[in-house]
Protein backbone atom coordinates (compact mmCIF):
# COMPACT_ATOMS: atom_id res chain seq x y z
CA UNK A 1 0.00 0.00 0.00
CA UNK A 2 1.24 3.47 -0.86
CA UNK A 3 2.36 5.87 1.87
CA UNK A 4 1.37 9.02 0.02
CA UNK A 5 -0.10 10.36 -3.20
CA UNK A 6 1.63 13.41 -4.69
CA UNK A 7 0.26 15.75 -7.34
CA UNK A 8 2.27 18.39 -9.19
CA UNK A 9 -0.19 21.27 -9.09
CA UNK A 10 1.60 24.06 -10.97
CA UNK A 11 4.33 26.68 -10.66
CA UNK A 12 6.86 24.34 -9.00
CA UNK A 13 4.38 23.24 -6.32
CA UNK A 14 3.21 19.83 -5.19
CA UNK A 15 0.48 18.56 -2.91
CA UNK A 16 1.14 15.37 -0.94
CA UNK A 17 -1.63 13.46 0.78
CA UNK A 18 -0.82 10.90 3.46
CA UNK A 19 -2.95 7.89 2.51
CA UNK A 20 -3.61 6.58 6.03
CA UNK A 21 -4.62 9.89 7.64
CA UNK A 22 -5.53 12.22 4.80
CA UNK A 23 -3.07 14.80 6.16
CA UNK A 24 -1.72 17.14 3.46
CA UNK A 25 1.59 18.88 2.82
CA UNK A 26 2.21 21.41 0.07
CA UNK A 27 5.71 22.09 -1.20
CA UNK A 28 7.17 24.96 -3.19
CA UNK A 29 10.55 25.37 -4.81
CA UNK A 30 12.82 27.70 -2.83
CA UNK A 31 13.47 31.25 -4.01
CA UNK A 32 17.09 30.39 -4.85
CA UNK A 33 15.85 27.72 -7.26
CA UNK A 34 13.11 29.45 -9.28
CA UNK A 35 10.37 29.03 -6.68
CA UNK A 36 8.32 31.41 -4.59
CA UNK A 37 9.45 29.96 -1.24
CA UNK A 38 5.91 30.14 0.10
CA UNK A 39 5.88 26.57 1.45
CA UNK A 40 8.43 24.07 2.68
CA UNK A 41 10.70 22.96 -0.15
CA UNK A 42 11.35 19.24 -0.63
CA UNK A 43 14.84 19.67 0.84
CA UNK A 44 13.38 21.62 3.79
CA UNK A 45 11.21 18.57 4.47
CA UNK A 46 14.28 16.33 4.54
CA UNK A 47 15.92 18.58 7.15
CA UNK A 48 12.70 18.86 9.14
CA UNK A 49 12.27 15.08 8.90
CA UNK A 50 15.58 14.61 10.69
CA UNK A 51 14.58 16.89 13.57
CA UNK A 52 11.11 15.40 13.92
CA UNK A 53 12.53 11.88 13.76
CA UNK A 54 14.98 12.71 16.57
CA UNK A 55 12.20 14.12 18.77
CA UNK A 56 9.81 11.27 17.96
CA UNK A 57 12.42 8.60 18.66
CA UNK A 58 13.29 10.34 21.94
CA UNK A 59 9.59 10.37 22.80
CA UNK A 60 9.45 6.61 22.24
CA UNK A 61 12.53 6.07 24.43
CA UNK A 62 11.55 8.50 27.20
CA UNK A 63 9.36 6.18 29.30
CA UNK A 64 11.80 3.28 28.86
CA UNK A 65 14.78 5.33 30.10
CA UNK A 66 12.76 7.38 32.60
CA UNK A 67 13.16 10.86 31.18
CA UNK A 68 10.66 13.41 29.94
CA UNK A 69 10.98 15.48 26.76
CA UNK A 70 7.53 17.10 26.77
CA UNK A 71 8.00 20.63 25.49
CA UNK A 72 11.37 19.92 23.83
CA UNK A 73 11.98 22.05 20.74
CA UNK A 74 14.13 21.82 17.66
CA UNK A 75 15.59 24.48 15.38
CA UNK A 76 16.74 23.45 11.91
CA UNK A 77 19.18 25.06 9.48
CA UNK A 78 19.60 23.50 6.05
CA UNK A 79 22.70 24.37 4.06
CA UNK A 80 22.66 23.65 0.34
CA UNK A 81 25.71 23.06 -1.84
CA UNK A 82 26.04 23.29 -5.61
CA UNK A 83 27.54 21.12 -8.33
CA UNK A 84 25.60 19.02 -7.65
CA UNK A 85 22.85 20.93 -5.87
CA UNK A 86 22.14 18.97 -2.70
CA UNK A 87 21.86 19.29 1.06
CA UNK A 88 25.41 19.75 2.30
CA UNK A 89 24.64 20.07 5.98
CA UNK A 90 21.71 19.94 8.37
CA UNK A 91 22.22 21.75 11.66
CA UNK A 92 19.78 21.00 14.48
CA UNK A 93 19.60 22.42 17.97
CA UNK A 94 17.41 20.46 20.40
CA UNK A 95 16.40 22.40 23.52
CA UNK A 96 14.88 20.67 26.51
CA UNK A 97 12.43 22.22 28.99
CA UNK A 98 13.60 23.17 32.45
CA UNK A 99 10.89 21.06 34.07
CA UNK A 100 12.91 17.83 34.08
CA UNK A 101 16.62 17.51 34.94
CA UNK A 102 18.66 14.90 33.08
CA UNK A 103 21.33 12.63 34.53
CA UNK A 104 24.61 12.25 32.68
CA UNK A 105 23.56 8.70 31.74
CA UNK A 106 20.29 10.01 30.25
CA UNK A 107 22.14 12.72 28.30
CA UNK A 108 24.45 10.11 26.77
CA UNK A 109 21.44 7.95 25.85
CA UNK A 110 19.60 10.94 24.32
CA UNK A 111 22.61 11.93 22.21
CA UNK A 112 23.05 8.33 21.04
CA UNK A 113 19.36 8.09 20.06
CA UNK A 114 19.60 11.38 18.15
CA UNK A 115 22.59 10.14 16.15
CA UNK A 116 20.98 6.79 15.31
CA UNK A 117 17.35 7.65 14.53
CA UNK A 118 15.99 6.18 11.27
CA UNK A 119 16.22 9.41 9.25
CA UNK A 120 19.78 10.08 10.45
CA UNK A 121 20.74 6.56 9.39
CA UNK A 122 18.98 6.98 6.02
CA UNK A 123 20.78 10.17 4.97
CA UNK A 124 23.88 9.87 2.81
CA UNK A 125 27.15 10.01 4.79
CA UNK A 126 28.25 13.03 2.69
CA UNK A 127 25.39 15.04 4.20
CA UNK A 128 26.89 16.55 7.35
CA UNK A 129 24.55 16.30 10.32
CA UNK A 130 25.37 18.64 13.21
CA UNK A 131 23.20 18.10 16.26
CA UNK A 132 23.53 20.25 19.37
CA UNK A 133 21.71 19.95 22.68
CA UNK A 134 20.64 22.67 25.09
CA UNK A 135 20.13 21.08 28.49
CA UNK A 136 18.11 22.67 31.29
CA UNK A 137 20.19 24.74 33.68
pLDDT digits (tens, 9 = 90+) for 17-49: 999 999 999 999 999 999 999 999 999 999 999
- Is the pLDDT at 100 greater than 90? The verdict is no
Phi, psi of 3 (to 5 degrees): -85, -40
Mean pLDDT of 82-90: 96
Q: Residue 17: what pLDDT?
A: 98
Q: Residue 98: what pLDDT?
A: 85
- Is the pLDDT at 137 greater than 90? The verdict is no
Share of the chain above pLDDT 90, in %: 95
Q: Which CATH superfamily is domain 42-134 in?
A: K homology (KH) domain (3.30.300.20)
CB-based contact 74:93 (threshold 8 Å): yes
Q: Residue 131: what pLDDT?
A: 98
Q: Residue 99: what pLDDT?
A: 80
Mean pLDDT of 76-94: 97
Strands across the sheet with 24-28, in order? 4-10, 13-18, 24-28
CB-based contact 44:57 (threshold 8 Å): no
Q: Where are the alpha helices (DSSP H) in the chain?
A: 42-65, 104-114, 118-122
Could you tell me how far CA 17 lies from the centroid of its own chain? Answer: 19
- Is the pLDDT at 59 greater than 90? The verdict is yes
Domain locations along the chain: 4-33, 42-134
- Measured between alpha carbons, how far is residue 79 from residues 115, 125, 130, 133 in Å? 19, 15, 11, 19
Amino acid sequence: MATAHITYTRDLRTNAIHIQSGSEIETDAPTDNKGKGERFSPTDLVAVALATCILTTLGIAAPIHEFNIDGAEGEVIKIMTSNPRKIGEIQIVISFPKSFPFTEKQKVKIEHIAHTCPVYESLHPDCKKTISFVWPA
